[in-house]
Amino acid sequence: MSDLVRFGVAMDRALLAEFDRRIAAQGYENRSEALRDLVRADLTRAAWDEGAEVAATLTVVYAPEVRELVQRISALEEQHARAVVSSLLVRLDEGRLLQVMALKGRGAALSELAGQLAGAKGVLSCALTPAAALPGAAPEEPRRQRG
């Protein structure tokens, strides 16, 4: 187990009461667990924004009768083979398929992949969710302008 460090946090009483209600509703056993999750989520967002490598999921619900869309999804998975770690396809009902892709890469590239699907005919919903910053993933270097 890693070294745990204890520290104090000063907070407005009303804000703390609201936080306690929220974490109780979500099933947290204590404030520490909830706070750790909040910090991890913030660090993941920061890594995403800084261009570091992250893990994410892309969840797409779509109509299977749109053949071009099914082909487009397959083509995108092939084009982004380094980013698409795994994919799960589930038939929700006669008119809807749910596809969840586990992704790994830089936030901008993953956003581009999601954007190529989000507005496509037959896509009912498309959600890209950052899951974790990957250890040792350095942010992208800013590109220098030629001048």
Q: What is the model's pLDDT at position 135?
A: 81
Same domain (yes/no): 57, 128: yes
- In the chain, the number of structural domains is 2
Per-residue confidence of the chain (147 residues) as pLDDT tens digits?
Answer: 578 899 999 999 999 999 999 999 999 999 999 999 999 989 888 888 888 899 999 999 999 898 899 899 999 999 999 999 999 999 999 999 999 999 999 999 999 999 999 989 999 999 999 999 998 655 555 555 554
**68 and 39 inside one domain:** no
Angle at 103 between CA 101 and CA 106, to 5 degrees: 150
Both 69 and 122 in one domain: the answer is: yes
What region does 122 belong to: left with phi over 0, alpha with psi -120 to 50, or beta? left
Residues 57, 129 within the same domain: yes
Separation between Cα atoms, residue 47 and residue 106, nearest integer Å = 9
Looking at residue 14, its pLDDT comes to 96
CATH code for the domain of 125: 3.30.70.1150
Domain that holds residue 124: 52-133
- HSE, side-chain direction, 13 A CA sphere, residue 64: 11
